[in-house]
Structure 1
Amino acid sequence: MARSRATFSLADAAVIPYILRLELLRLHRMWDRLPRIDAWYERMRSRASVKKELLERMGPEDRAPFEKLETDPWPKVEKLAWEC
């Protein structure tokens, strides 16, 4: 992840889709223990380029498969994620 708020790196661009997928899978609580990830992701989401090329490009048909997921699958996943 970029070290400066003004910097946008190839690493940022590569990681954003994975974090977005975790959010769509309703696993955003995964980074509750990692506040810097949350702050970074909020900065990335606020960038015009990320909004235009990733967030706004997803239409209802892209989001539809995720709407049927459990409201909060994190309790089931947490044990596996942090106790490995």
Structure 2
Amino acid sequence: MRTYATVNLNAKRVENLMHRFFDAARLDIEILDRFGKPFRPREWFLLPLPVIEQAVPMLLDGSIVRYRYDMPRGRIVRKTGG
């Protein structure tokens, strides 16, 4: 687990951007809550920590829009085309 200080940024917006960027790595699992009700967590991702550490400064400086997360290769790559 890591925490990052963001100054003058909306924390919810930063979180939403990270979720969209890493959507391909979102864990697709259904578990039962303590009452036996099925639950699909949306906050769990399968990501190497170095990839997250690479993405945070990119998000903060805005350069992340030129990249995407390549799930099969487990790394951030520059977008191609359009």
Q: Same-fold call, TM > 0.5?
A: no
Q: TM-score range by the shorter chain?
A: under 0.3
Q: Which structure's relative contact order is higher, taking Cα pairs within 8 Å and 6+ residues apart?
A: 1
Higher relative strand content? 2
TM-score (norm 1): 0.27
TM-score (norm 2): 0.27
